[in-house]
Amino acid sequence: ETGVTQSPTHLIKTRGQQVTLRCSSQSGHNTVSWYQQALGQGPQFIFQYYREEENGRGNFPPRFSGLQFPNYSSELNVNALELDDSALYLCASTLGLAGGRTYEQYFGPGTRLTVT
Amino acid sequence: QKEVEQNSGPLSVPEGAIASLNCTYSDRVSQSFFWYRQYSGKSPELIMSIYSNGDKEDGRFTAQLNKASQYVSLLIRDSQPSDSATYLCAGRESRDDKIIFGKGTRLHILP
């Protein structure tokens, strides 16, 4: 167990809908990263939050957005869901240092999103 | 060249033998490298991190980093059936500090 939790575990949504996924980071970790993992692929970086500010973003459209709260928990929001958004969404927490430099990441169990 | 590249496998290794997993990386990836193990339907689990040239050992696992040749490897000694999983190599991108993953190598340990 990494101490990183995610909710919900599974989710089924319809194309065009919106979804919010949640993550609680490991105690003492101030940095949260979100990844999308399609079947048979490695995790793809969506974005990273350090002390409530986004400090890195991958090649995902603006309909993917996020938040980090003062307790370092985080949300991933996806608007206008598309079929290709079906994937495992992973949250990882890290102890971030000044300037956002991070080291070892620990993953939560993931949220399996299915878009129909 | 992709930032982090791995052979997708599957790699089949007899039980008790040494499994060798390899990964190459581009100039965009910097000093920090990680190996994760992922069982089917589960999230990645950190096995090893390596930051400097050479070998780093932890139990049955040894990570090797060769910066001149831009490759990272993971050796698993005395392979067990429970080692059967997908192994993900990851490195930190130099420009904006995000961690980039390879597609993973599927490893099968044959009883």
Statement: residue A101 has pLDDT above 60: no
Residue of chain A nearest B49, judged by CA positions: A104
Q: For residue A23, give how far its alpha carbon lies from the nearest alpha carbon of chain B (Å).
A: 14
Instruction: Please tell me the number of Cα atoms within 13 Å of A97 on its side-chain side.
Output: 5
B78-97 average pLDDT score: 91
If phi > 0 it is left, if psi is from -120 to 50 it is alpha, else beta; for residue A83 that is: alpha
Across the interface, whether the CB atoms of B99 and A104 are under 8 A apart is answered no
pLDDT, position B90: 95
B6-16 average pLDDT score: 94
Higher per-residue pLDDT: A97 or B62: B62
CB-CB neighbors (< 8 A) of B39 in chain A: none
CB-CB neighbors (< 8 A) of A45 in chain B: 98-101
Considering Cα of B100, then A89, then A66, then A32, what sign does the dihedral take?
Answer: negative
B20-28 average pLDDT score: 94
Statement: residue B10 has pLDDT above 80: yes
In terms of Cα–Cα distance, which of A49, A84, A9, A18 is closest to B43?
A: A9
DSSP structure string for B7-52: ----EEEETTS-EEEEEEE-TTEEEEEEEEEE-TTS--EEEEEE-S
Statement: residue A99 has pLDDT above 60: no
Indicate which of B39, B98, B101 best probes the interface with A, i.e. most A CBs within 10 Å of its own CB.
B98
